[in-house]
Amino acid sequence: MTGKRSLVVSIVDDDESVRESLPDLIRQFGFAVGAFSSAEAFLASDVVSETSCLLLDIAMPGMSGPALQEELRRRRQEVPIVFITAQGDETIRPQLLARGAVECLFKPFSEAVLLDAITAALHWPVGAA
Amino acid sequence: MTAPRVTPGGRWTGYHGVNGDHADVNTAATDLINILDAVEVPIVVLRRDFSVACFNRAAADVLGLSPSDIGRASRDISVFAGCPRLEQQCDEVVAGGAASRVDLRDGDNWFVVRISPSTSSGRQVTGSVLTFTDVTAFRASMSSAIYERECTKTIFNTVRDPLVVLGADQRIESGNRAFYTMFEVSRDEAQAAPLYELGNGAFEAAALREQLEEMLAGSRAFRPVEVDDVATAKGRRALTLDAHPLSFPGHSERRVLVTFHDITARKQAEAAKDLRSEEELRRSEAFLARGQRLSLTGSFSWKVASDEIAWSDQLYRIYGLEIGVPVTLELVRTRVHPEDVALLEEMVQKGREGRDNFEGQYRLVMPDHSIKYLHVVAHATRDQDGRLEYIAAVQDLTERRTSEEALAKARSELAKVARVTSLGVLTASIAHEVNQPLSGIITNAGTCLRMLDTNPPNLQGACETARRTIRDGNRASDVITRLRALFSNEELTLEFLDLNEVTREVIALSLSDLQRSRVALQSQFAEDLPTIAGDRIQLQQVILNLLRNASDAMADVHDRPRRLAIRTELEAGDRVRLSVRDAGVGVNPRSMTKLLDAFYTTKADGMGIGLSVSRSIIERHHGRLWAEPNDGPGATFSFSIPGGPEGDTAIAPVARQP
């Protein structure tokens, strides 16, 4: 088991305030963080394979969160995904979980909930599907 | 000797008096003459040559003979002309010596003339004596009797109903033609036969013999007897027999006239009619029952004085009671919803007071705790004794209500959608827009605390996160402004509107909602309001919002009527005002101004957007929206907008916050 330092949590969200605020908090949890404003930007980066947990917005301009999940699966670069959304539609959660997401968080969420979700992601059996 | 004397001159000496020598003979002749003249019967003596020998006074009076007729040939005297066979008859009498009779007519008078031989003292027949018996009256009464008899006989035979006269032992004496025809017997065959031999014995069975017996014994009463299945020439017939006593003066024996009236056709028609009306009744009852089932309507009658209640089958079904159990007001009460018992009592009371008709709605609680909604319409009538009775229809509105509620729900959802659409914005993204900055605030605040909690505290980082927290707070506030601004950017569809009409449409849309919330709506519309230029849909959203708020504010009111008053009026300066007054929980005067701010809400499940948006809409119409507490319970929300077409060109864009 490697040390916490080496674990990378990536954030993909088009909302700037999320990209500003979340990384600081996650760093406070003790993880390394990468923040991307779009799915395309994340795919183009070199952190995909290093990411232990992906915090992924659902609705974004360009490629959506679920579309990115599909793309990663297609590339056999599956990453445990925690969806985060500001839309209040709870019906979407079971669908996302059924399609392999670790968790789906509705903004605003508390630190504790976020930490639980990231912890669950770190123990997620990647590639089990 | 008392033979009349005739003078050699042939004159009737008696008429002229006696002038003989022998006084005693004269006396006898005078006596005889007196007798003959006293007799009212005319007597004339003819000689063998038919000349008149003599006559008495009555012959002069009655037959009009005069003394000059003595010696004249009878054939020359007019009175004898009425009897052409007189001479021949007289000859026979003179020749034979035996008296005979002959009829004689003199004008309107009829006589029977007895011709007897007239003999001389030597027993020699010298002529004939004619005595005239006046039979005019007799003949007249005879002829009238014959006439009457013939008439009667004709009538008797012409009557189409059979008639028969029964004598002793109820044996047939005579019948009319119809009688013989009907029973196919000849007059001779039927003669003296008992009535009971006819008609194949059908008469024997009927209660006939005894009654006829009594009538023959003197009774006059007879109850007509119906006899079915009588064998006749026309087949089996049903007959009514009636009887009338016949008695004749001088005849001790009584007879009975029996009439037969054929009622077969009538009975068949009646039977057919009975069958038909029975069938019709059965059909109309079935039809009614089906109608009641289909329309979910039962009916009942209520005799007020005796409290007798009769229900239709369908009403039993509606009440879920076994068909036929006796219905009492107590039984009805056991099914009525506890909250509606008072309503029912009131209706019953109205009924007892005999107010003409009554109508009402109440609910039932069924054994499975389901609720039924009933509507009753009762019509007051009087029975034949003038006692009050109600005939009522009871309709089960439950299904209709359920579908109305479903409809209302669909409608309210539609209205919601329309409202959201008319906001033109955010819809799902309202939450998104608000949650994003909230999320940032929470995350930043959390981060800030953690940074301050480290040793040494990361003050620079904490300051940065605190700054971001403030920024996100402002962002959230911006969302609200944007919401209103975005909304205000929508193009208004302006048209000239009648505020009353616009309001009525909203009321129509909301009525079932209000009814379901048990809100009593009172509306009061000012007449002659000026038209306003505005966006119909948006103004209706405002009115709908005010109505809904008012209704919601009274949701927890149970101790007073949930009264909602909506009114329009003309304000100074040609402005029109609409106000909605509720009797709800009211508004704290201190929060009055906050009420209209976005996201301020007193409702647990409200976003508080309604009033804020409503204010934006009204402001865009150059109007004002405000709230004020009532003197009594509740609050009044009002808006006023300028009337008149000048508003058309003066719609201003709402100032946008930078």
Who wins on pLDDT, B386 or B214?
A: B214
* B564 in the same domain as B639: yes
Question: B20 — phi, psi (to 5°)?
Answer: -90, 175
How is residue B530 written in tokens? 């000026």
**Residue A116 covered by a domain:** yes
Q: Does A6 touch chain B (CB under 8 A)?
A: no
Please name the residues in contact with B527: beta carbons below 8 A apart, sequence gap of 6 or more. Answer: none
* pLDDT tens-digit series, residues B308-360: 888 988 899 899 888 888 888 888 888 998 888 888 888 888 888 876 777 88
* pLDDT tens-digit series, residues B424-449: 334 444 666 677 788 888 888 988 98
Q: Does A90 touch chain B (CB under 8 A)?
A: no
pLDDT at residue B417, rounded to an integer: 57
Who wins on pLDDT, B510 or A96?
A: A96
CATH number at residue A30: 3.40.50.2300
Max mean pLDDT among B82-86, B491-495, B516-520 falls in B516-520
* B254 in the same domain as B112: no
CA distance B629 to B161: 98
Cα nearest neighbour of A105 on chain B: B439
CATH number at residue B199: 3.30.450.20
At residue B655, does pLDDT exceed 60?
no
pLDDT at residue B606, rounded to an integer: 42
What share of chain B has pLDDT > 70, as a percent?
84
pLDDT at residue A34, rounded to an integer: 94
pLDDT at residue B658, rounded to an integer: 34
* B558 in the same domain as B523: yes
* B302 in the same domain as B379: yes
Cα nearest neighbour of B471 on chain A: A17
Last residue of a domain, one of B238, B262, B286: B262
Contact B43, B36 (CB under 8 A): yes
* B567 in the same domain as B604: yes
What share of chain A has pLDDT > 70, as a percent?
91
pLDDT at residue B416, rounded to an integer: 57
Q: Which of A17, A18, A28 sits opposite B451 (nearest CB)?
A: A28
Into how many domains does chain B fold?
5
Cα nearest neighbour of B427 on chain A: A87
* B474 in the same domain as B550: no
At residue A86, does pLDDT exceed 60?
yes
Contact B102, B85 (CB under 8 A): yes
How is residue B192 written in tokens? 């003296």
Give the rounded distance of the alpha carbon of B257 from its chain centre: 44
Residues of chain B that touch chain A, judged by Cβ-Cβ distance less than 8 Å: 428-429, 431-433, 435-444, 446-447, 450-451, 461, 464-465, 468, 471-472, 475
Max mean pLDDT among B9-13, B390-394, B650-654 falls in B390-394
Q: Give the minimum alpha-carbon distance from A57 to chain B in angstroms, rounded to a whole number.
A: 11
**Residue A127 covered by a domain:** no
Using alpha carbons, select from B330, B318, B323 the residue that is nearest to residue B364: B318
CA distance B341 to B355: 20
Among B432, B433, B435, B439, the strongest candidate for a mutation testing the A interface, having the largest count of A CBs within 10 A, is: B439
Partnered with residue B395 across adjacent β-strands are B297, B375
Question: Per-residue pLDDT averaged across B77-101, rounded?
Answer: 84
Q: Which of B440, B450, B451 sits opposite A17 (nearest CB)?
A: B440
**Residue A128 covered by a domain:** no
| Banded pLDDT at B414 (limits 50, 70, 90) | low
Q: Does A91 touch chain B (CB under 8 A)?
A: no
Cα dist. B270→B161, B267, B275, B520 in Å? 21, 5, 8, 60
Cα dist. B273→B227, B237, B267 in Å? 21, 19, 9
Cα dist. A83→A92, A110, B592 in Å? 10, 15, 41
Asked if B435 lies within 8 A of A88 by C-beta distance, the reply is yes
Q: How far apart are the first and last CA of chain B?
A: 182
Asked if B436 lies within 8 A of A18 by C-beta distance, the reply is yes
* pLDDT tens-digit series, residues B367-381: 898 889 888 888 888
Q: Give the minimum alpha-carbon distance from B447 to chain A in angstroms, rounded to a whole number.
A: 5
Asked if B443 lies within 8 A of A18 by C-beta distance, the reply is yes
R_g of chain B, CA atoms, integer Å: 62
* B618 in the same domain as B539: yes
Asked if B436 lies within 8 A of A25 by C-beta distance, the reply is no
Into how many domains does chain A fold?
1
Cα nearest neighbour of A24 on chain B: B447
Sign of the four-CA dihedral B643, B644, B645, B647? negative
Q: Give the minimum alpha-carbon distance from A129 to chain B in angstroms, rounded to a whole number.
A: 32
* B498 in the same domain as B475: no
Structural domain that includes position B230: 159-262
Contact A80, A53 (CB under 8 A): yes
pLDDT at residue B649, rounded to an integer: 45
Asked if B443 lies within 8 A of A59 by C-beta distance, the reply is no
* pLDDT tens-digit series, residues B286-303: 777 777 777 778 888 888
The whole-chain average pLDDT of chain B stands at 80
| Banded pLDDT at B513 (limits 50, 70, 90) | confident
Q: Give the minimum alpha-carbon distance from B453 to chain A in angstroms, rounded to a whole number.
A: 10
* B529 in the same domain as B433: no
Who wins on pLDDT, A2 or B640?
A: B640
Q: Does A46 touch chain B (CB under 8 A)?
A: no
Name chain A contacts of B447, Cβ cutoff 8 Å.
21, 24-25, 28
Asked if A25 lies within 8 A of B450 by C-beta distance, the reply is yes
**Residue A25 covered by a domain:** yes
Q: Give the minimum alpha-carbon distance from B460 to chain A in angstroms, rounded to a whole number.
A: 12
**Residue A129 covered by a domain:** no
Q: Give the minimum alpha-carbon distance from B415 to chain A in angstroms, rounded to a whole number.
A: 21
pLDDT at residue B104, rounded to an integer: 84
**B326 DSSP 8-state letter:** P
**Residue B98 covered by a domain:** yes
Q: Which of A17, A18, A88 sits opposite B431 (nearest CB)?
A: A88
Question: Per-residue pLDDT averaged across B181-191, rounded?
Answer: 88
SS3 B324: coil
Contact B220, B245 (CB under 8 A): yes
Last residue of a domain, one of B437, B459, B488: B488
At residue A102, does pLDDT exceed 80?
yes
| Banded pLDDT at B251 (limits 50, 70, 90) | confident
Q: Does A115 touch chain B (CB under 8 A)?
A: no
What share of chain B has pLDDT > 90, as a percent?
8
Q: Which of A21, A28, A106 sits opposite B440 (nearest CB)?
A: A21
How is residue B74 written in tokens? 């009878």
Among B427, B444, B447, the strongest candidate for a mutation testing the A interface, having the largest count of A CBs within 10 A, is: B447
* pLDDT tens-digit series, residues B539-594: 887 888 888 888 888 888 888 889 999 999 999 888 999 999 999 877 766 666 55
Please name the residues in contact with B559: beta carbons below 8 A apart, sequence gap of 6 or more. Answer: none
* B504 in the same domain as B642: yes
pLDDT at residue A80, rounded to an integer: 94
CA distance A101 to A95: 9
Name chain B contacts of A20, Cβ cutoff 8 Å.
440, 468
**Residue A115 covered by a domain:** yes
SS3 B336: strand
Q: Which of B431, B435, B468 sits opposite A20 (nearest CB)?
A: B468
Cα nearest neighbour of A13 on chain B: B436
Among A22, A25, A58, the strongest candidate for a mutation testing the B interface, having the largest count of B CBs within 10 A, is: A25
**Residue B147 covered by a domain:** no
**Residue B576 covered by a domain:** yes
Q: Does A108 touch chain B (CB under 8 A)?
A: yes
Q: Which of A17, A22, A106 sits opposite B437 (nearest CB)?
A: A17
Q: Which of A17, A24, A109 sits opposite B436 (nearest CB)?
A: A17
| Banded pLDDT at B524 (limits 50, 70, 90) | very high
Question: Per-residue pLDDT averaged across B73-99, rounded?
Answer: 84
CA distance B402 to B14: 133
Question: Per-residue pLDDT averaged across B32-40, rounded?
Answer: 85
At residue A19, does pLDDT exceed 50?
yes
Asked if B451 lies within 8 A of A87 by C-beta distance, the reply is no
| Banded pLDDT at B220 (limits 50, 70, 90) | confident
* B524 in the same domain as B636: yes
What is the side-by-side strand order in the sheet with B520-524? B520-524, B563-571, B575-581, B635-642, B624-629
* B301 in the same domain as B168: no
pLDDT at residue B641, rounded to an integer: 93
At residue B613, does pLDDT exceed 80?
no
**Residue B405 covered by a domain:** no
* pLDDT tens-digit series, residues B45-71: 999 888 998 899 888 888 888 888 888
Structural domain that includes position A107: 4-122
The HSE-up count of residue B575 (CA atoms within 13 Å, CB side) is: 16
* pLDDT tens-digit series, residues A41-79: 999 999 998 999 999 998 888 899 999 999 999 999 889
CA distance B75 to A79: 171
